[in-house]
Structure 1
Amino acid sequence: MKYVVVIGDGMVDKPLKELDGETPLQRAKTPNMDFIAKNGSCGMLKTVPQGMEPGSDVANLSIMGYDPKKYYTGRGPLEAASIGAGLEKNDVAFRCNLITNENGILADFNASHITTTEASQLIETLNQSFSRYGKFYLGTSYRHLFVYNDRNASLLKSTPPHDVVGEPIQEHLLKGNNDTLKHLADDLNQLMYKSSDILEKQSLNEKRVESGKNPANMIWLWGQGPKPQLPPFKEEYNLKGATITGVDLIKGIGTYLGLTNIHVPGATGYYDTDYCGKAEYALKALEDHDLVFIHVEAPDEAGHAGDIQEKIKAIERIDRRILRKLREKLPAIDDYALAVLPDHPTPIDIRTHTSDPIPYAVYTPGCEADKTEAYSEVSVLNSFKNNSNEIMEGYKFLKFFIEYGKCAKKS
């Protein structure tokens, strides 16, 4: 039996007046998602537990079958595993964005999606200038890592930069709730401001401005935490699993779980990611793996940018270039089960994540269908209400999906 989980990051949304009251998912042409919904089983999933921040870290940890309330320690340490930053007992890993500081305003949380090649020069400069603070690690594009050797830093309050674009930087810096933590926060906030002094003067940023791009002229520290302790996926689910993604966060979760992180050369974590390549590599991986998670970041990036058309295009590309190929090729490989879902909503109108329940659809040949009309927020929710179902806790989804797939063997 083979299992494939396709995750369209931030894919679901709210009705938009620009789309005559439809969501991007409703407006998009998604015949393959609709097939899965009509011929499979659909429901609602709560991937972000009550009281937790609605981040991709928490939500994807849930989808991969692990309770965030039990295992989550922060976003930074999850990414650390994927980029080779080994964490010691007292280390705290921060997510380190390269952002654009415009006269004290957080103008751009990704510095016009700076390339990894450009970013590598800036990360090297930061390590040369601020070695007394800790160590910076190169990630991908604007997403990097900073490791600080003081476990107290995990107790600071930090803010995701994509939540405060256009707002004063001073209002959203690191904060502590006692004298020790306030002193620690002040020290790290000074590091962020000092980074602006250094990065602003880099010739690379001068060239970016000349070419009409935003400079990567400051770092932003957030999403911190110590190394998590996660039981191996193989022991929990008795399946050999793999991940396909262009995002270090998902690779990091995979590393901690003992999943195979499969490198797809064109996987960028942006609009231009190689959708077809992800499908092809997934099919190849299934030759010696039981389950593959395919993660696509593009819809989430479009949600953060408030770009309706790019979000629709990303959803349609997932459907046409990934799901269609999977539907065509999976029957020749083995008995299979296929799932499609987002990790969390990223509504266009607020440009950030929410913790609202998300719709899922699962399909395996031979299983009874619940006759949901299409895969969309509205159709799945209506079917869900009609069937008087309960919202499933996110971390329970994977076991449900694995059990669901077994009906193919019984039929």
Structure 2
Amino acid sequence: MKLLYLIGDGMGGWPLEELGGKTTMEAAHTPNMDELARTGLVGRAQTVPEGMQPGSDVANMSLLGFDPATYHTGRGPIEAAAQGLDLEPDDLVWRLNLVTVSKLTIDGFMRDYSSGHIATDVSRPLVEALQEKLGNDMYTFYPGIQYRHLLVQKEGALSDDAKLAINPPHDITDKPIKLDLRTISKSPFLWDLLFEAQELLEDRTVNNSRANSIWPWGQGRPLSLPNFKETFGVEGAVISAVDLIKGLGHASGMEVIDVEGATGLLDTNYQGKVNAALTFLKEHDFVFVHLEGPDECGHGGNAEEKVEAINRFDAQVVGPLREALKEEDTAWIVTCDHFTPIVERTHTMDAVPFLLNGPNCEPSDVSEFSEKSADSTGLKLDKGHELLAFALEKFGMK
């Protein structure tokens, strides 16, 4: 049996007046997910444990079956795993955004957590320049993709810097940065690095993008996860545009499939992801396909674009996979990692809707796949990291 695990990142949300009281999931045209829900088992899962931040790092770790309360060390370490960085146990790995702030002062605001979704071919030279000018025995800059990069602090896990609680920049869009600057000021070396980076980014001979500051956050020790195949008995792969998912895959010994043209945005290479999943499933039994688009549109506060992102997820990923595998023995898990409500423009703690479609899944008597229909069934997994094991057992694969 082939198991497809399809994730619309940030797809869940709250009702909106501009959509006639519907959520973006309800407003979207999703005949494929609706059909899988009508003929399958529908419920909710709490992917973010109480007391943890509702980030994609925590939530996707849950979806892959690993308890974040046990294994999560930070956002940066997961993305470092994607790059295969050679790290020491006491290194502190920071996620480093290239951001746009109104000004880097206590009366400044976070204007854009992504510097206008800066392209990788623009951001990479900037991070390389930061490393050349500011890298030293303590700090090393590593370029990633788009606005997402890494900063490794040598033996930083032994310092008080490991305890600094700096807000993810997407959580404070158009909000003051005063409290975060006060937090960063507790680390003299990090404080100096922040302003030295700003000075370099202000040099128009080096930088013509909207990025005018770095933003370190999500720090932690290097990540270690159990082997996925040994834990769940299936050999799997992850397909995603973002290093976060690739890092979880690398750390758990899964195959990580890169797809040319996968951007994490509305214009991603949907067909490439579908083709990659189908190719992998010819010889293997499990694939985790992640789409970032709905989440990015949620952070942007654009309901129309988020509805379109969900439309495309259904029409260009779920639909083609169903058609290609209609003669195959298949099972399906479809869900999101967390909510990204338009009005909040960031992640929330809401339990996410999920559907299971396959053997032993008695239909839940719903007409569509949405937050409301999932809530109506009364099925809720309070520990979201148990969803995968629950599905495998239901499908007879464990």
What's the TM-score bracket when you normalise by the shorter of the two chains? over 0.9
- Which residue is equivalent to 1:400? 390
Please list the CA deviations of residues 209-246 of structure 1 after superposition, one character each: whole Å capped at 9, or x if unmatched: xxxxxx11110000000012211001101110100000
Equivalent of residue 141 in structure 1, options 138, 146, 152? 146
3-state SS in 2 of match to 1:110? coil
5 Å-filtered alignment, 1:9-408, equals 9-103=9-103, 104-132=108-136, 133-149=138-154, 150-151=156-157, 152=159, 153-173=161-181, 175=183, 183=186, 185-203=187-205, 205-206=207-208, 208=209, 215-332=210-327, 334-364=328-358, 367-384=361-378, 389-406=379-396
Deviations 1:156-212 (A, max 9, x none): 212100111223333213738xxxxx75x2321221122111111133533x4xxxx
CA contact (8 A) 1:159 1:174 kept: no
Supply the distance in 1 between the matched residues of 2:217 and 2:236 (Cα, whole angstroms).
Answer: 29
Tell me, yes or no, if the aligned pair for 1:139 and 1:145 is still in contact at 8 Å: yes
Question: Equivalents in 2 of 1:174, 1:9: separation in Å?
Answer: 32
Asked if the contact 1:63/1:395 (under 8 Å) is kept, the reply is yes
| Partners of 2:131 and 2:140 within 8 A in 1 | yes
Cα displacement (A) at 1:328? 1.1
**1:134, distance to aligned residue in structure 2 (A):** 1.0
Take 1:370 and 1:109, find their aligned partners in 2: how far apart are those partners?
40
User: Contact 1:157/1:174 (CA < 8 Å) preserved in 2?
Assistant: no
- Structure-1 separation of matches of 2:224 and 2:27: 41
List alignment gaps of at least 5 residues for structure 1: 177-181, 209-214
Distance 2:342 2:47 in 1: 20
Deviation at 1:341, TM superposition (A): 0.4
Between 1:85-94 and 1:37-46, the stretch displaced more is: 85-94
Q: What's the Cα RMSD here? A: 1.7
Task: Say which is worse superposed, 156-165 or 298-307, in terms of deviation.
Answer: 156-165
Relative to structure 1, is the Cα distance of residues 397 and 227 closer, same or farther in structure 2, using a 3 angstrom cutoff?
Answer: same
Counterpart amino acid of residue 192 in structure 1: L
How far apart are residue 305 of structure 1 and its match? Answer: 0.2
User: Unmatched 5+ residue regions in structure 2?
Assistant: none
- Aligned-partner residue type, residue 336 of structure 2: P
Three-state SS of the structure 1 residue aligned to 2:348 is: coil
Aligned-pair identity (%)? 43
The question of whether the paired residues in 1 share the 8 Å contact of 2:47 and 2:338 is answered with: yes
- Amino acid across the alignment from 1:141: Q
Task: Give the 3-state SS of the residue equivalent to 1:203 in structure 2.
Answer: coil
Can you list the C-alpha shifts for 1:16-53, whole angstroms capped at 9, x where unaligned? 01011000100000000101110000011000000000
- Structure number having the greater helix percentage: 1
**What letter corresponds to residue 362 of structure 1 in structure 2?**
L
Superposed CA offset, 1:276-320 (max 9, x none): 221111011111221100000000000000011110011011101
Q: Aligned equivalents of 2:204 and 2:360: distance in 1? A: 60
- Counterpart Cα distance in 1 of 2:24 and 2:363: 25
Please say if residues 264 and 293 of structure 2, whose CA atoms lie closer than 8 Å, have aligned partners that are also in contact.
Answer: yes
- SS in structure 2 opposite 1:281? helix
CA distance in 2, matches of 1:366, 1:231: 28
TM-score computed with the length of structure 2 as normaliser: 0.94
Question: How many residues in Structure 1 have an aligned counterpart in Structure 2?
Answer: 390
Alpha carbons 2:299, 2:342 under 8 Å: kept = yes
